[in-house]
Structure 1
Amino acid sequence: MRILKRLLVRIILLIVAAGILCGSVVAVLGYLMYRDALKEQSLEDKVAEVQADPSYTPLADLPEIYLDAVVAVEDHRFEQHCGIDIIAIARAAWNNIKSWSLREGGSTITQQLAKNLYFTQERSFIRKAAEVFMAFRLEQTYSKDEILELYVNSIYFGDGYYCVRDASAGYFGKEPADMTDDEATLLAGIPNAPSVYSLTANPDLAAQRQQYVLQQMVKYGYLGEEEAAAILQN
């Protein structure tokens, strides 16, 4: 019995050691990917490139309900974390282990911005590590408002629309500031899966996603249940 216990302890220690070693390798390779990305183009130059787009829209020109909807559905701890959400990452890691896949990423708004600015959509641990390093750099360099502003001006909304202004104009024929509450909450749900929730391709699925957005807004205190129900009735 003692021999079996010792063998079990050794196996566990070997697994832990292997996990630490693999994690260290991934972290180093991720850092190198992050470093190389900045060597190719500095963060300041990349941000200036996004801001130079004629469709770039400041936060002041966006409806508050739209911004609240984005934070509620994409990263409700956005104001509290330093670039990564440990709770979300742990939940995603557990779900990935159960499914033996990289189905979930637990990405914050800052991490998604880092990916949009520098990296591909490839799902790999190394790319994820590089994304984390870039997220920390973004949080050190820019304010939360600046990060959120860059995010909504660099995400894909389907149908060839790569920022909130183009999406609002393309889907609703109006400037973002003129969106109704219904349109704003509908638009906030699309970037999660643009090809799935595109308003031209799958309006019914987009409407289902909007219901989830509103549920999250109620859950995190951005809207009351009656307010959310009223938006859906419009």
Structure 2
Amino acid sequence: MKVIKNIIFVAIVFLISIGLLVVGNGYDMYKDAISKIPLTEKVETIKEKENYTKIEEVPEIYIKAVISVEDHRFYKHNGIDIIAIGRATINDIKAMSFVEGGSTITQQLSKNIYFTQEKKITRKIAEVFMSLEIEKNYNKDEILELYLNTSYFGEGCYTVKEASRKYFGKEPKKMTDYEAIMLAGIPNAPSVYSLTKNPELAKQRQKQVINKMIEYKYLTQSEADKILEQ
């Protein structure tokens, strides 16, 4: 019995040590990134984009769609959604691979402006530290606006304005509810949900977004049905 306890103790110490090492490496990655290019400098560069889209230029339903499908607790957390991370971790363990990210909009913004899309634990930890830094310096609407200008929509479009012009030939504010919700679903997988290459998959994704909007009370079923008829 004593031997078993010792083995368990050693295993726990080992796991804690590995965990601390990973967190330390992630923190170092975050510090290295932000020391090379400060956050304020990154943000200013983004805002200088020719087609930078202000949040007021985007239909309200687009914002609701993004929050519903990407991070429905966006206005309630500090950049890290513990509930989503816990759920994603359980699903990843079950699948024995990274099948679910659990990333908040702030974490996705961190990844978009500082890190790669590579699925590594160290990068995820760095993303967490960067997200806390972003939340400390910017309010939720500012963060959301930056996210809308750093997400990839396919076809070389990195802002909502570029995407709405490319796909619908109009300014963001003039998008219909149908178009706005369609656009909100693309950044999850731009090549898969490409409106030009995979229109049917894009429609399927749109329905997923609408279902999330119904689930989180941004739309009623009746309103959703009318949008799909457009």
Query: Structure 1 length as normaliser, TM-score?
Result: 0.95
How big is the shift at 1:7? 4.7
Match of 1:128 among 124, 128, 133: 124
2:47 maps to what in 1?
A: 51
How big is the shift at 1:20? 1.6
What amino acid does structure 1 have at the position aligned with 2:227?
A: I
Match of 1:153 among 149, 153, 167: 149
How big is the shift at 1:125? 0.5
Checking the alignment, whether the CA contact within 8 Å between 1:102 and 1:124 is kept in structure 2 is no
1:182 maps to what in 2?
A: 178
Match of 2:32 among 32, 36, 45: 36
SS at match of 1:195: coil
- The answer to whether structure 1 residue 193 and structure 2 residue 189 are counterparts is yes
CA distance in structure 2 between the partners assigned to 1:191 and 1:8 by the alignment: 49
**Count of residue correspondences:** 230
1:233 maps to what in 2?
A: 229
Match of 1:98 among 81, 94, 98: 94
Which string of whole-angstrom CA distances, capped at 9 and with x for unpartnered residues, describes residues 66-123 of structure 1? 0000000000000000011001101111111112212222100000000001001111
What is the aligned-residue identity percentage?
A: 55
Instruction: Say what the alpha-carbon RMSD is for the aligned residues.
Output: 1.1
1:60 maps to what in 2?
A: 56
CA distance in structure 1 between the partners assigned to 2:198 and 2:5 by the alignment: 53
CA distance in structure 2 between the partners assigned to 1:66 and 1:90 by the alignment: 27
Which string of whole-angstrom CA distances, capped at 9 and with x for unpartnered residues, describes residues 48-79 of structure 1? 00000010011111100000000000000000
Query: Structure 2 length as normaliser, TM-score?
Result: 0.97
CA distance in structure 2 between the partners assigned to 1:52 and 1:100 by the alignment: 42
How big is the shift at 1:19? 2.3
CA distance in structure 1 between the partners assigned to 2:61 and 2:34 by the alignment: 34
Structure 2 unmatched ranges of 5 or more: none
2:111 maps to what in 1?
A: 115
CA distance in structure 1 between the partners assigned to 2:199 and 2:30 by the alignment: 38
How big is the shift at 1:10? 4.0
